[in-house]
């Protein structure tokens, strides 16, 4: 019986998912997407920094709701971009838990 057949259904499912998600990273558009995200993130950070410095002590208060919204949006986008790597890490963790074949 092959080692793959001895793996748990959970590990096989994670392996399939990690393999499919890895295909996303192999596509040439993946790097373009990541670069676009980084560009927007840097633009947002520059805007926040400018808002902090503009107007001196008499400047109007920053809109905390807007900052929280943008921060949450960036975290969500980052989570999507990290999905393939996280799936692989999850698979590797599950494989470490599996009993070794032939032990």
Identify the pLDDT of residue 23. Answer: 92
Q: 61 or 65, which is more confident?
A: 65
Q: Is the pLDDT of residue 84 over 90?
A: yes
**1-5, 44-48, 50-54, 56-60: which is most confident:** 44-48
The structural domains of the chain, with segments of one domain joined by +, span: 8-95
Q: H helices of 1-103, where? A: 3-6, 9-26, 28-53, 64-97
Q: Is the pLDDT of residue 35 over 90?
A: yes
Q: What's the mean pLDDT in 70-94?
A: 92
């Amino acid at each position: 019986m092959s080692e793959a057949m001895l793996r748990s259904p959970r590990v096989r499912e994670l392996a399939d998912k990690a393999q499919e998600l890895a295909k996303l990273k192999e596509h040439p558009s993946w790097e373009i997407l990541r670069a676009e995200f980084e560009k927007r993130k840097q633009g947002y950070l520059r805007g926040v920094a400018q808002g902090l410095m503009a107007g001196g002590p008499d400047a109007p208060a920053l809109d905390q709701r807007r900052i929280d919204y943008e921060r949450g949006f960036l975290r969500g986008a980052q989570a999507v971009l990290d999905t393939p790597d996280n799936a692989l890490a999850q698979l590797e963790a599950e494989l470490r838990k599996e009993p070794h074949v032939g032990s």
